[in-house]
Structure 1
């Protein structure tokens, strides 16, 4: 590449938001350089484990002792990485960070980022979420409301393909859905029980998930979900949405995108004369060469904490504490969602029933607390929802060591008993004291300062966690399930893998970093559209909201660029 080549726009990051920024900017005619700190991952070609089976690995897919040392942080999540997916998670020994207080930072450095391994759960925010900060006084008021974002939710859902069911709930707006996946017989039983036993509006539905289910509606380069549930390896069918299968190919088709992997962005360059950013500095991950690329528009989509880190490192005489940091809000208000707590139970009966395929989705119980006076809780504010599923146990769980002969043959042909469980996802308040900073003396192998996390749950979060466990135990018990087991595993912020905040959106530069279009207040040609801009967290999975805001911001940037506002 010619580093002196001029670009109209630079996008830092290729994950959920980077792909969308690239697509929208390129389709609007902007010559766009897309930077990714990790290696290239080409759709299908580089999904090297996509068709493997458990028995293809020596340890049934588990990591070796040596690999567990390399992925000691990534393994905190409990389900990843495994031998079949470790290449989509960072080596923690090579990418360290500091923890003043425990923070579980789950990452993937490669083209596509965590869009290859995300859970695909896609839910809209409502005005209950956008108005919460203003109503209860925690955090800064959002400068947008649902009506501002609704058409962008429409655009994103129709493009990525979201299956789900419209419910008419004020706390969970309906969307543009493809046919919903089916609940199984036990999940339907729980759905009926909740409708009969509770009169407070709680209900169960199939998860809203970014998987194609409409076989009659072709999507370019993608096919319907095949129910393999091997999503975290990369899907050769493009059944679920990822940057690699969808937005990046769309950007490439325009002829306006230049994609540069192995490019570690670490600083946005500020020009005090024009009062605008002029480009981005990178380190080539393979050669260690430092290179500068110039452009009129900059999009930071590196993932929430990484984008905050870049802004903190972007110091100048005008911004000694980080680009756009007139408010001292940069790095503050870090949030995540509650995770690793809920309940499970045994299910009697239904032994004559099973299900077809491996549905890569579960059921969802939307928020039902603190919606109005009748559902108000006295010891915490905001709310939570549940994600869960029912399934049958292992086909061999009833085989004991003494099994042999006819009895053994009979047992291995029968699946085990049914079981059901649900995990709570609760809202985390935006506290200014919860922050990320640059390490004073620790650097990574490229000489860049490590991030230091000082983030914790507080009283509101702990009180909510208690009720999350109480409510799901009640729901399962009322349904008649047996041996209800409540769990609350050791965890810290970050493990929900929904880390957000640090460059929050607000009305003015005195209290926030970006405006209602995701522009840095004092540097309007720099947009931050990954989770860093979030001013509160809601209780639903955030990726759909990131994508909607990114599409909106990219179209705003293209319009401003064409009007000559950034020249």
Structure 2
């Protein structure tokens, strides 16, 4: 029997384990495998193979049984489900609440991607770099702790991931939004160009640009080698893109890692905890519950990358207890699960546009125009901390005429007329992490896998309220100057989490007494565990975070492998 046990342990032993197969997990896997490490990737959900498992990607509207709507009896099985996935074309991404119930101590909307590829198949694909204005923000205004890195530390890694992922954009030469390695950008509509020109004439510090996004607009050899093609401007991204036009783990990093022969992908693997060895004083593996059989299985590795998505990464670390770490692995500082933050999307405005009736759009823009942060950039000038960026989109829809009978009706339906132009905007505000905004494990309630349920306790603050009011005031003023009519909207009062940008809880910092991770995304007190998803974030910035997660993952793997070769891990 002893020989069988040895063989079993050997079969379950790898050089590295990656928890999660989403944006950061895919990058961790790619980099580890490319560097020669035998790597196990654990995904709690089902397998999704690129192209093969996108069931609705090529369907026309009339091919859906309910014309896109979800029958009430099915919808009722997903109370509180994110409405963008409550459509026939995206229902294959929805998860039922009983898969992983959680306790909302404060109202919180938690969107999860439980399948191979995770939320890399569901994201909005906006990919702005952070600048030193973001990394220095906490130190500058004295709220939250200082980041242990600066832009110079991450810049080469931004370039590294951008070249591989394929990012479209323009060189805009803005200090608050560093330029990157760009493919040709999408074009703004005539209305967005008009708005840009008006704002440029009336404000010195409010540049309207096209948002940088993870879409291949002009494939380079590295994208062709991945089997990816140009974005087809279909704007059906959330169904899964068979062309690989936008970046996802499924179309890019995971197949690349698989080609090395070093990756083992294990779906249906719900991570229970990280195993800590008291004698070796390091983590030795990961404990998994098989989602189908409920069997508890242990896998072993020299290094572990935690990329389960921010809140689940917090949950796993909190549930990884031992004599050395009774409050969660690496939690000497007592900050694990605390300082959770997200982005403030509450402000939304739209307006009617007169004119431009001789123009229409050609194809669909999967991205949008973008106003980078312009508040409190270099000094505190408002009654709220930090600032917000603004997404801007416009369009001209069709007006369907179903009047008439016979041939007249047929012609009316086949030849819809163009309507008037409209424009909309939405804010993405930086929330300041505070200790009371946290997640923790429930003391008694567990899920179907025997894992404690997560308690979410995250609320808006007065700072967030003031920021929303400023956005409404400033954007209303800008829309009015541009001649737009019937400006409407305001504060949606959406709950935290609606942005799908959960961050924090395992934050980076210089001081082990006030943070969990060092500048290499490495647990201060358990050196062979790295966290490179949203959980690691010290502050939230106003930019979308996914590109930064990718850069952190690639940078941390490079460091971890070097340390492994030096026998330091």
Do 1:300 and 1:528's aligned partners in 2 also have CA atoms closer than 8 Å?
Answer: yes
Do 2:398 and 2:416's aligned partners in 1 also have CA atoms closer than 8 Å?
Answer: no
SS in 2 for 1:344: strand
Matching of residue 38 in structure 1 with residue 45 in structure 2: yes
Do 2:184 and 2:217's aligned partners in 1 also have CA atoms closer than 8 Å?
Answer: yes
Q: After superposition, give the CA deviation of every residue in 1:183-229 in whole Å (9 maximum; x if it has no partner).
A: 11111111111111223x10211110000011465612110101111
Q: 1:238 aligns with which of 244, 268, 287?
A: 244
Equivalent residue for 1:11? 18
Equivalent residue for 1:365? 371
Distance in structure 1 (CA, Å) of the matches to 2:439 and 2:412: 57
Q: How does 1:63-78 map to 2 (within 5 A)?
A: 63-75=70-82, 78=83
Length, aligned pairs only: 559
Do 1:469 and 1:487's aligned partners in 2 also have CA atoms closer than 8 Å?
Answer: yes
Matching of residue 133 in structure 1 with residue 138 in structure 2: yes
Q: How does 1:337-352 map to 2 (within 5 A)?
A: 337-352=343-358
Equivalent residue for 1:389? 393
Distance in structure 1 (CA, Å) of the matches to 2:464 and 2:267: 39
Q: 2:476 aligns with which of 453, 457, 473?
A: 473
Do 1:73 and 1:106's aligned partners in 2 also have CA atoms closer than 8 Å?
Answer: no
Do 1:73 and 1:105's aligned partners in 2 also have CA atoms closer than 8 Å?
Answer: no
Do 1:162 and 1:176's aligned partners in 2 also have CA atoms closer than 8 Å?
Answer: yes
SS in 2 for 1:463: helix
Q: 1:278 aligns with which of 280, 284, 306?
A: 284
Q: 1:118 aligns with which of 123, 131, 138?
A: 123
Equivalent residue for 2:111? 106
Distance in structure 2 (CA, Å) of the matches to 1:148 and 1:526: 20
Q: 2:562 aligns with which of 554, 559, 566?
A: 559
Equivalent residue for 2:4? none
Matching of residue 189 in structure 1 with residue 189 in structure 2: no
Matching of residue 62 in structure 1 with residue 66 in structure 2: no
SS in 2 for 1:172: coil
Distance in structure 2 (CA, Å) of the matches to 1:204 and 1:320: 50
Q: After superposition, give the CA deviation of every residue in 1:121-171 in whole Å (9 maximum; x if it has no partner).
A: 000111111111111121111110000000000101111000001111111
Q: How high is the TM-score relative to the length of structure 2?
A: 0.95
Q: 1:427 aligns with which of 427, 430, 454?
A: 430
Q: After superposition, give the CA deviation of every residue in 1:367-405 in whole Å (9 maximum; x if it has no partner).
A: 1111134xx433101010111211012331xx3767997
Do 1:13 and 1:300's aligned partners in 2 also have CA atoms closer than 8 Å?
Answer: yes
Q: 1:204 aligns with which of 201, 204, 208?
A: 208
Do 2:170 and 2:212's aligned partners in 1 also have CA atoms closer than 8 Å?
Answer: yes
Distance in structure 2 (CA, Å) of the matches to 1:184 and 1:222: 27
* Deviation of 1:409 (Å): 3.8
Do 1:437 and 1:453's aligned partners in 2 also have CA atoms closer than 8 Å?
Answer: yes
Do 2:440 and 2:456's aligned partners in 1 also have CA atoms closer than 8 Å?
Answer: yes
Of 158-167 and 482-491, deviating more is: 482-491
Per the alignment, do residues 134 and 216 of structure 1 end up closer, same or farther by CA in structure 2, a change over 3 Å counting?
closer
Do 2:403 and 2:409's aligned partners in 1 also have CA atoms closer than 8 Å?
Answer: no
Equivalent residue for 1:168? 173
Q: How does 1:399-438 map to 2 (within 5 A)?
A: 399=401, 409=411, 412-438=415-441
* Deviation of 1:341 (Å): 2.0
Q: After superposition, give the CA deviation of every residue in 1:44-73 in whole Å (9 maximum; x if it has no partner).
A: 111111101222223321222123223333
Distance in structure 2 (CA, Å) of the matches to 1:484 and 1:564: 62
Distance in structure 2 (CA, Å) of the matches to 1:475 and 1:53: 38
Q: 1:289 aligns with which of 295, 304, 324?
A: 295
Of 265-274 and 65-74, deviating more is: 65-74
* Deviation of 1:302 (Å): 0.5
Equivalent residue for 1:498? 501
Equivalent residue for 1:50? 57
* Deviation of 1:505 (Å): 0.3
Unpaired runs of 5+ in structure 1?
A: none
Of 536-545 and 209-218, deviating more is: 209-218
Per the alignment, do residues 81 and 561 of structure 1 end up closer, same or farther by CA in structure 2, a change over 3 Å counting?
farther
Distance in structure 2 (CA, Å) of the matches to 1:2 and 1:20: 29
* Deviation of 1:354 (Å): 1.0
Q: After superposition, give the CA deviation of every residue in 1:454-494 in whole Å (9 maximum; x if it has no partner).
A: 11011111111111111111111110011111232231110
SS in 2 for 1:333: strand
Distance in structure 2 (CA, Å) of the matches to 1:79 and 1:260: 28
Distance in structure 1 (CA, Å) of the matches to 2:143 and 2:404: 61
Do 2:347 and 2:490's aligned partners in 1 also have CA atoms closer than 8 Å?
Answer: yes
SS in 2 for 1:368: coil
The root-mean-square deviation of aligned C-alpha atoms, in Å, is 1.7
Matching of residue 79 in structure 1 with residue 84 in structure 2: yes
Distance in structure 1 (CA, Å) of the matches to 2:294 and 2:287: 12
Distance in structure 2 (CA, Å) of the matches to 1:189 and 1:336: 32
Unpaired runs of 5+ in structure 2?
A: 1-6
SS in 1 for 2:542: coil
SS in 2 for 1:87: helix
Per the alignment, do residues 403 and 218 of structure 1 end up closer, same or farther by CA in structure 2, a change over 3 Å counting?
farther
Do 1:519 and 1:527's aligned partners in 2 also have CA atoms closer than 8 Å?
Answer: yes
Do 2:346 and 2:468's aligned partners in 1 also have CA atoms closer than 8 Å?
Answer: no
Equivalent residue for 1:154? 159
Matching of residue 328 in structure 1 with residue 331 in structure 2: no
